[in-house]
Amino acid sequence: MKVLVVGGGGREHTLVWKISQSPRVRQVFCAPGNAGIARLATCVPIGAEDLEGLLDFARREAIDLTVVGPEAPLVAGIVDMFTAAGLRIFGPTRAAARLEGSKVWAKQVMSRYGVPTARFAVFDAPEAAKAHIREVGAPIVVKADGLAAGKGAIVCGDVESALRAVDTIMVEKAFGASGDRVVVEECLTGEEVSVLVFTDGRDFVPMVSSQDHKPVYDGDRGPNTGGMGAYAPAPVYTPEVHEAVMRDIVAPVLRGLAAEGHPYRGVLYAGLMVTGEGPKVLEFNCRFGDPEAQPVLMLLESDLVPVLEAVVEGRLREAEVRWKEGAAVCVVMASGGYPGSYRKGFPIEGLEEVPPDVVVFHAGTAFRDGRVVTAGGRVLGVTAYGPDIRTAIDRAYAAVERIRFKGMHYRRDIGWRALARLEGRQQT
């Protein structure tokens, strides 16, 4: 079969890497792809948000299955468009993808079905939002309603910074029209975990848990990014937490959306805070996480393609999903200045020195004059497997040390919470 992967980042490189291993697949295309993806797939110069261009290409090439990586085309309705044209595509419809496309709508869905989440209020005028903040105090979280590349949630430790966040989102329009409305919610405390499930709208199969590292600097300091690294599984995600998440969060949302006429098919991503009162939802995403997909899919032992097909065809209960024992870690190597402004076009050295048991997933790279160069904020996701989290971390960082490009920076503490939790258990 012929498969088209939509997108050009680290998540999409991971999807191409896993899909290309399937004996069912004859050829993989990726639009637009990147320098790393080009080693495994035929890259085509069509943007991920050029829905008409993607549809024309899929028709022309008789693509058997399209897999959508990023959220923007899903929220824009690419699944509806391809389905109407009789083409198979993996991902939720535009209506179901509103779980990520509108934080307001997601909160309303959670309220309707009793899903545990932070207390919140919604505002479409900055002065009303500020008045609420002054009334309830801080710490508090201010979120843009729409898509903001993972940077639209601002955690504020004091009232003044929360008031500035409202101005940043609603007045200065840092995230464009996504900031026309804001959600102001209580600041949950605990430990974050990412839980993804495959679902065909009726049945669902959980993936191994993972934990992202959003802030740019070690110790979770500095501004949020799209993610500076991730590991799987997350020790905080105990069997008891898992049971609560499946029962109280995933199942009610999927049942509710189906009952409302918006059955959810694809990957449902629940970003959670494990609090003293149990797990609560921070956000929903409508696709694989990035960089969570890198360690999660590295731990997927079974063939991904039959699972994707089973989701699309509504027969997930027939699919075989097996996971490896052990752990996987992804360390993101970023451009100097990221998540702020940064320069592109710097040659990347040392990729050929990385051991074969470590996979370097390309996120923001391109070819220029026969060389791989930087072409984005997050440049590479160096991902390693190990029988335990410590081994996986050591292997990933040993590979990172072999790679060089001007201005590069990365966190040196990916996985620190897992180590602290596991070592704490061993001491008790």
Q: Which residue has the tokens 């993989």?
A: 28
Q: Indicate whether 126 pLDDT > 80.
A: yes
Residue 408 CA to residue 378 CA, distance in Å, equals: 10
Query: What are 104's two structure tokens?
Result: 């307001």
Mean pLDDT of 303-322: 97
Q: Hey, what are 75's tokens?
A: 């929220």
Question: DSSP states of 282-324 as a string?
Answer: EEEESS--TTTHHHHHHTB-S-HHHHHHHHHTT-GGG----B-
Using CB atoms within 10 Å of the CB of residue 168, give its burial: 0 to 12 exposed, 13 to 18 middle, 19+ buried. middle
Residues 335 and 322: beta-carbon distance below 8 Å? no
Using the 8-state DSSP alphabet, how is residue 347 labeled? B
Give me 122's structure tokens: 């919604």
- Top CATH class of 327-427 equals alpha beta
Query: How many other CB atoms are there within 10 angstroms of residue 251's CB atom?
Result: 15
Domain with CATH 3.30.1490.20 in the chain: 119-186
Percent of the chain past pLDDT 70, that is, above it, reads 99
Parts of the chain belonging to CATH 3.40.50.20: 2-94
Q: How far apart are CA 368 and CA 365, in angstroms?
A: 10
Q: Which residues pair with 268 in a beta bridge?
A: 197
- What CATH number labels 119-186? 3.30.1490.20
CATH topology for the 191-318 domain = D-amino Acid Aminotransferase; Chain A, domain 1 (3.30.470)
Sequential DSSP letters for 48-117: TT-HHHHHHHHHHTT-SEEEE-SHHHHHHTHHHHHHHTT--EES--TTTTHHHH-HHHHHHHHHHTT--B
Residue with token string 């791989």: 372
Residue with tokens 């360690």: 295
Confidence of residue 427 (pLDDT cuts 50, 70, 90): very low
Average pLDDT over residues 149-163: 91
Mean local confidence (pLDDT), 265-285 = 97
**How far is C-alpha 85 from the geometric centre of its chain's CA atoms?**
28
The answer to whether 144 touches 307, Cβ cutoff 8 Å, is no
pLDDT at 33: 98
This prediction's pTM: 0.95
Class level of CATH domain 2-94: alpha beta
**pLDDT tens-digit series, residues 14-71:** 999 999 999 999 999 999 999 999 999 999 999 999 999 999 999 999 999 999 999 9
Residue 426 has pLDDT above 60, yes or no: no
The C-alpha angle 229, 6, 181, rounded to 5 degrees, equals 70
pLDDT band at 425 (very low <50, low <70, confident <90, very high): low
In the chain, CATH 3.30.470.20 sits at 191-318
Helices 103-112 and 251-259 cross at an angle (nearest 10°) of 100
